[in-house]
Structure 1
Amino acid sequence: MIAAPTLTLYVARRFLGATLTMLMALTLLVSMFDFIELLRRGATRPDATFALVATIAALRMPFVATQIMPFAILLGGILAFWRLARSSELIVARAAGISAWGFLSGPMLVAILFGTVAVAAVSPISSALLSRAERLDASFLRAGGGVTALAGGRLWLRQADRGLEPGGVAIVSGRPARLLATDRAEFTLAEVSIWRLSAGDRVLARIEAPRARLQPGAWLLEDATAFLPGERQGRPAEALSLPTDLTPDRIEDSFASPDTLSFWALPGFIAVLEQAGFSALRHRLQYQSMLSTPVLAMAMALLAAGFSMRHSRRGGVGRMIGAGVAAGFALFMLDRITGEFGESGALPVAIAAWVPAATGLLAALALLVYQEDG
């Protein structure tokens, strides 16, 4: 195989330009439909002004771009390689003894770079903006949501409790009384019941209080009455403090979409979430999916090459490009299906997250081996 760094750089540059163009075009198209849907939902809301709806749509754009990036790589790659094949540039290169594996290394590196940047650099920005958009959406466009939209209006939390016995847990239940996006330090529960359990789930105490305020590092219980096992009457009401690792942001984020958390924040949040008794299955699946994004991006680039490098004089170009788009859609459906199985616990999280990327990569390699050496 002849090394051709100039040709590799040229193909990579063409691939990068087509992918960026396709990414911008698809992002604007999807965001436009998202904006129209937000306008429809806000038509009956007097507080949902045009500027507010436009702000929500704009805040969601970076997240939209990261979601459609694999398809932008696929469609941009198909466009770039088809143009190179139509102009016979790839045919001349291969006739000169340059293997497809040589000049495809550039587009592969570009695709991996796209995936890495999207996960490591763009996700912190997109997750923060999406979180802000979701709060505005919940405040102005939805009838109700968040932690107050639970069955019966009560919130159930589980946290570590080392006050009475090592390894103990505390179950906190109450009605959310205040959780304002403008005052993240204030979180209040009303009609509070707390069960303090041992490591073996033996009841150590029960606490009833009309109100509990979450302060940094502790729940502050007002007029709390404690009931111990074997006692018919509770102890006199008093102000109590229960240490906790929970914060208002962590409570709300536990019910929010994992998309509102960045790649760098997910590992620590998963640990806190599981320690507090929440299910972290969706967040672990999201983290593994982010890890597999560069591999999926490379698979999309190779699929684009396999389906579009055929010379136009041999015919069937439209059919080949259509097959490439269909392959991308099939990978998307596979990702949705494995994601549903992963969230339900039917599949291990790692398998559910990595199967689409691995399947796409193996299919692309098989197609290229057939075309190049078959």
Structure 2
Amino acid sequence: MVRSPTFYAYIVRQFLFWFIAVLLVLSGVIAVFEFVEFVRQVSAIPELPLSLAFTLAAFKLPSSIEILFHFAVLIAAMVTFWRMTRSRELVVARAAGLSAWQFLAPVIVTAMVLGVVKITVVNPISAAMYGRFERLDVDYLGGTGDIMKVAKTGFWLRQKDENGVAVIHAEKVSGNGDQLENAMFLLLKPDESYRGRIDGASARLKDGKWQITDAWVMDGNEPPQHVDSTTLPSNLTRNGIQERFASQQTISFWDLPDYVRNLESTGFSSTRYRIAYQSLLSQPLLMAAMILVAAAFSLRPGRRVDTVLMIVGAIVTGFSIFVLGDIVAALGRAGTLPVPMAAWATSGVAMLFGIAALLHLEDG
């Protein structure tokens, strides 16, 4: 078997150069569009400084870069192989006895390493910065801020209406996710000053209100009063509670396992977070698949019209893989598919497609 470490290092350098270049260009385009959108939102509130738009765009950009990662790998690999085919470098390599599988191997390994970097480094940075972006959105642009926080001691939920704010804590959830056990309702006025507190053995959400049983009610600074049952108005629904879980974009790869365990200990379903974690684990395989797809479209020399078709075909394929991932994940969250299949199916299908296309190109 012919080996050429020098040539392998050269093709990896070419791929990394184009990966960085493509990622910077795509990120720049996304950043401009997001900055313009935030300028529009900030300008609608006269007292806000324009610099806030830049800050919001900067904090949101890493989450966009995460989404662009596999597109950048695909386009960078395609440009690398196409340029080396046009310059006859790959033709000479093949004539020297190197097969496509041999010179693709180091690029595939490099892409998988990029996938590991994405989930272990880029994702935690993105999660931290997106969390900061959400807080700024709540503070300045009128975001709801009604986010559920899950911890080992239970969960915290904030609801807001015309009467003020209620900060809700419960140790556990039962039923269909609308019944709380050992619940505490801290009541605040619209200016978020203290209004009162209700502690109940249980609370059930129904008909636009919390039905709290075996409760101790404190109104302002008055002594607590025990009642068998009391109600508290609520604009929440059972589905609304589920929607107020922390965004997956704010939970890093390293924190997801603990978040899933805490969520399950409170009685909520952790399906979408387990899918998110497994999907992150599948990223190195997806990056490898992107290399094979790029090779299938760009290793064959052709005329200008063929080049255009190659670019369009590769971009459509990459976008289709992205859409397929969303569809399969949605089916997993709905319980139609098991979690491992929902998380790994997209990477597996992309890998099989790339291998099949490259086998057809190489062996006819």
Give the TM-score, by structure 1 length.
0.78
Partner letter of residue 188 of structure 2? A
The answer for the alignment partner of 1:372 in structure 2 is 362
- Segments of structure 2 that go 5 or more residues without pairing to the other structure are 148-157, 174-179, 204-212, 230-240
Query: What displacement does 1:143 show?
Result: 5.4
Aligned to 2:264, what secondary structure does the other structure show?
Answer: helix
The answer for the alignment partner of 2:298 in structure 1 is 308
Aligned to 1:288, what secondary structure does the other structure show?
Answer: helix
Q: 1:255 to 1:175 in 2, by over 3 A?
A: farther
Query: What displacement does 1:83 show?
Result: 0.4
The answer for the alignment partner of 2:259 in structure 1 is 269
Aligned to 2:45, what secondary structure does the other structure show?
Answer: coil
Partner letter of residue 138 of structure 2? A
Calculate percent identity across the aligned residue pairs.
Answer: 34
For 1:151 and 1:350, the matched residues in 2 are separated by 40
Whether 1:285 aligns to 2:275 is: yes
Q: 1:293 to 1:329 in 2, by over 3 A?
A: same
Q: 1:280 to 1:178 in 2, by over 3 A?
A: farther
Q: 1:119-155, CA deviations, whole angstroms, 9 ceiling, x for partnerless residues?
A: 0112221111110011101211125342455789766
The answer for the alignment partner of 1:351 in structure 2 is 341
The answer to whether the 8 A contact 1:159-1:276 is kept is: yes
Q: 1:103 to 1:223 in 2, by over 3 A?
A: farther
The answer to whether the 8 A contact 1:138-1:146 is kept is: no
Query: What displacement does 1:112 show?
Result: 0.6
Query: What displacement does 1:65 show?
Result: 1.3
The answer to whether the 8 A contact 2:182-2:202 is kept is: yes
Aligned to 1:146, what secondary structure does the other structure show?
Answer: coil
The answer for the alignment partner of 1:120 in structure 2 is 120
For 2:98 and 2:65, the matched residues in 1 are separated by 35
The answer for the alignment partner of 2:154 in structure 1 is none
- Segments of structure 1 that go 5 or more residues without pairing to the other structure are 162-168, 181-185, 198-204, 213-220, 233-250
For 1:159 and 1:121, the matched residues in 2 are separated by 33
For 1:187 and 1:6, the matched residues in 2 are separated by 69
The answer for the alignment partner of 2:23 in structure 1 is 23
Aligned to 1:206, what secondary structure does the other structure show?
Answer: strand
Aligned to 2:267, what secondary structure does the other structure show?
Answer: coil
For 2:146 and 2:298, the matched residues in 1 are separated by 46
Q: 1:160 to 1:141 in 2, by over 3 A?
A: closer
Q: 1:183-219, CA deviations, whole angstroms, 9 ceiling, x for partnerless residues?
A: xxx998955352259xxxxxxx72233379xxxxxxx
Q: Which moved more, 1:70-79 or 1:278-287?
A: 278-287
The answer for the alignment partner of 2:236 in structure 1 is none
Partner letter of residue 75 of structure 1? I
After the TM superposition, which segments of 4 or more aligned residues of structure 1 sit over 6 Å from their partners? 150-153, 186-189, 251-254
Partner letter of residue 342 of structure 2? A
Q: 1:176 to 1:28 in 2, by over 3 A?
A: farther
2:214 aligned to which of 206, 215, 224: 206
Q: Alignment length, in residue pairs?
A: 330
RMSD of the alignment, in Å? 3.5
For 1:349 and 1:46, the matched residues in 2 are separated by 47
The answer to whether the 8 A contact 1:116-1:293 is kept is: yes
Query: What displacement does 1:179 show?
Result: 12
The answer to whether the 8 A contact 1:274-1:280 is kept is: yes
The answer to whether the 8 A contact 1:146-1:256 is kept is: no
Query: What displacement does 1:223 show?
Result: 4.3
The answer to whether the 8 A contact 1:339-1:353 is kept is: yes
Aligned counterparts, 1:1-374, within 5 A: 1-142=1-142, 144-147=144-147, 148=158, 158-160=170-172, 170-172=181-183, 174=185, 177=188, 190=196, 192-196=198-202, 206-210=214-218, 223-226=223-226, 255-312=245-302, 316-374=306-364
